[in-house]
Structure 1
Amino acid sequence: MSRFRLSYFIVSCLFVLMTLGFSSVSQACTGMRVKAKDGSLVFARSMEFGTQTESDLMVAPRGMTWTSQAPDGSKGLHWKSKYAFVGPDGLTMKRPLEGINEKGLYVGGFWMPAGEAAFPNLDPADYSKAVSQLDFVARLLSTCATVDEVRAEVSGMKLAGVEIKQLNLLPLAHWTALDSTGRMIAIESIGGKVAITDNPVGVFTNAPYFAWHLEHLRMYINLRPDNVDSAQIGDYRMKPFGEGSGLIGLPGDLTPPSRFVRAAFFADSALTPADADGAVTLGMNLIAAFSIPTGVSRGTGSDGKPEYDFTQWTTVYDLSRKVVYFRTYDNQDYRKVRFDALPLDGTAPRFIPMWNVKPSYRDVSDQAKSAQ
């Protein structure tokens, strides 16, 4: 093995070990855009976390006031919601981790490990204008209607990092935004500088930074949804073992780079649905391939105890009809929330239970009596 190949192998192994072994919280979130032939748009996302988020679905009305936090714990930016939005909160913070608003804009945060991201160091003179990473999603969903408006808002924002007491750390993140036209961007703070990048593939995961993932896709340029008929070496003709031979080499591990490649290929190869109903169904089926059972991904928390990164909830957003579908680890039945059935004006949020809601499996045994 050459020195270059050996160095590359060592770096690759270290990267995988760091990604799999990083302690606590979310390393495995995946998001995917789905477009239908009639223009309908859906975004599906899985939420993985090592600590139980105990999330509920937050309904934040128009007219609600928000006050963000500055790095020193003082009050940051204060504003009033222009648009209502719906999205899961977490860790009893009553702050959305992702969601869509009444204009069909989606914004979602995805975990980044230490060393992969760094928030700007704000001048104390700007603390009163600070928007913490915990309020980033709320700020954009409550004030922006399009990706262009998100760009403008972020370019003038005083983004700040603050500590979460429940996790005893300052969580890092990067974000994706998608509007009703299908335009999608990545928003990242790398080395203390905030950058916005167009997302031409419509999928999103975790570390490294987004542009790296696009370059990494080139490693899998050979992948095809079509089966390989046969191949020949010398006088030996090889036949495939079965279906999926065009996908040989598709990474199947749980690291963010591998999930990005898998999500990009699945989303691009799946047959385009005809309408919104088909897009929702496809989104549910696509994101199901990224669900992680408890115990498959293991790490150690900051308290030294074992932690298991697992899919705590899955969301599917119909941006065209303003409908949110969600299910949780303990309740695999999708539940639906419609914007047109919600109170969208007010001064305080409302919450729809997600956590600790047991499934009500429909018993269809009696159908056997008439199925003759």
Structure 2
Amino acid sequence: MCTASNYLTDNHYFGRNFDYEISYNEQVIITPRNYEFIFRKIDDIKSHYAIIGIAAGIDEYPLYYDACNEKGLAIAGLNFSGNAVYQEYKEGMINVTPFELIPYILGCAGSVGEARKLLEEINLVNINFADELPLSPLHWMLSDNSGEAIIVEPLADGLKIYDNPVGVLTNNPPFDKQLFYLNNYRHLSNKNPANTFGGDIDLDEYSRGMGGIGLPGDLSSSSRFAKVAFTRANSYSDVDEASSVSQFFHILGSVEQQNGCTFIDEPDLYEYTIYTSCYNTNDGVLYYRTYNNSQITAVNLNNENLDSNDLINYKLINEEQFNFIN
């Protein structure tokens, strides 16, 4: 399970918690403009926008989990088990596989508006990457430098596109239901509430934070959605880069999963937050930290040769970095 969010100060920030029980040797992959994208059912693309993101550790093809292009459009794919439906080939549509969606959209679109136009013509074809790598059931959140965000969901009756006014996505249920559930929390506030209990009972304001009583704290996807939506909506930071990036990690840190708290079917296997990403989409910088390395690491898209033909790979730094001061 996962959580994605965006955040606006002077720049636009976008990222996600990647929560899973198994790591696939994730790495930062930069796809330069002239790396040839080979597609299963449409024409290959030889020239496109440069892309930076985190992907599975497969060298020959960037299987992005989340990414951002040089124009500032960012996207993340999140687990959508039990709801995602991929289709058969459809004549007259742009037939791409789910693992090709991020490269195709980020390669061709520079904004959410441009991506929306492409998505209206896309059919997600049910074709596995390989026999040993079947498709994951996914839905996607996209956002750009304006802060506009949309959700894309492959359902049985076709690809649905939703405006996303809260800038957050988790997993199940479908996004329209996640958004509706926020009605249950409309009474929450970052301020302590007035005493409206009734009966002239003198009730104590015994703690700060009482305006948030009822905000869920469990690790289910619906609860994480409400928690991050509330945290993001009430977040405050200075607008400089260090403050903005730090606050973004705190927003997603409000729902990070600790190893051992979410049991999976197999013995000694638990879902946990393998990494958290944060993109400054204006500047093309990817920040990340991992479960075993809480130091923030940065990779700048624009420090590379973006006109080359070859993928650029950086393994995630996954060992804790201690800063001794004596």
TM-score, scaled to structure 2: 0.92
Match of 1:117 in 2: 84
Residues 58 and 94, structure 1, Cα contact 8 Å, conserved in 2 = yes
Instruction: Please report the RMSD computed on the Cα atoms of aligned residues, expressed in angstroms.
Output: 2.2
CA positional deviation for 1:276: 3.8
Aligned residue pairs: how many? 324
Residues 74 and 143, structure 2, Cα contact 8 Å, conserved in 1 = yes
Match of 1:153 in 2: 118
Query: Deviation digits for residues 178-213 of structure 1, max 9, x if unmatched?
Result: 111111100111114001111111111111111111
CA positional deviation for 1:231: 5.4
CA positional deviation for 1:94: 3.3
User: 1:189, 1:232 → 2: CA distance?
Assistant: 45
CA positional deviation for 1:160: 1.4
Match of 1:347 in 2: 309
State the identity as a percent: 25
Letter in 2 for 1:210: F
User: 1:344, 1:207 → 2: CA distance?
Assistant: 37
Letter in 1 for 2:292: D
Residues 81 and 143, structure 1, Cα contact 8 Å, conserved in 2 = no
User: 1:334, 1:342 → 2: CA distance?
Assistant: 20
Please, which of 5, 8, 16 is the counterpart of residue 45 of structure 1? 16
Q: Which of structures 1 and 2 has the bigger CA Rg?
A: 1
Shift of the 101–122 alpha-carbon distance from structure 1 to 2, 3 Å rule, reads same
Match of 1:97 in 2: 65
Query: Deviation digits for residues 238-262 of structure 1, max 9, x if unmatched?
Result: 2133121001111111111111111
Q: Give structure 1 regions of 4+ aligned residues with deviation exceeding 6 angstroms.
A: none
Shift of the 270–166 alpha-carbon distance from structure 1 to 2, 3 Å rule, reads farther
Structure 1 unaligned regions, length at least 5: 1-26, 70-74, 366-372
User: 2:219, 2:322 → 1: CA distance?
Assistant: 30
Shift of the 242–286 alpha-carbon distance from structure 1 to 2, 3 Å rule, reads same
Shift of the 165–51 alpha-carbon distance from structure 1 to 2, 3 Å rule, reads farther
Shift of the 99–235 alpha-carbon distance from structure 1 to 2, 3 Å rule, reads same
Task: Give yes or no for the alignment of 1:79 onto 2:45.
Answer: yes
Match of 1:7 in 2: none
Query: Deviation digits for residues 95-141 of structure 1, max 9, x if unmatched?
Result: 11111111111011011112x22122324x679x6311111111111
CA positional deviation for 1:155: 1.4
Letter in 1 for 2:15: A
Structure 2 unaligned regions, length at least 5: none
Residues 123 and 159, structure 2, Cα contact 8 Å, conserved in 1 = no
The structure richer in helix per residue is 1
CA positional deviation for 1:46: 0.7
Match of 1:270 in 2: 235
Residues 229 and 239, structure 1, Cα contact 8 Å, conserved in 2 = no
Letter in 1 for 2:5: M
Match of 2:35 in 1: 64
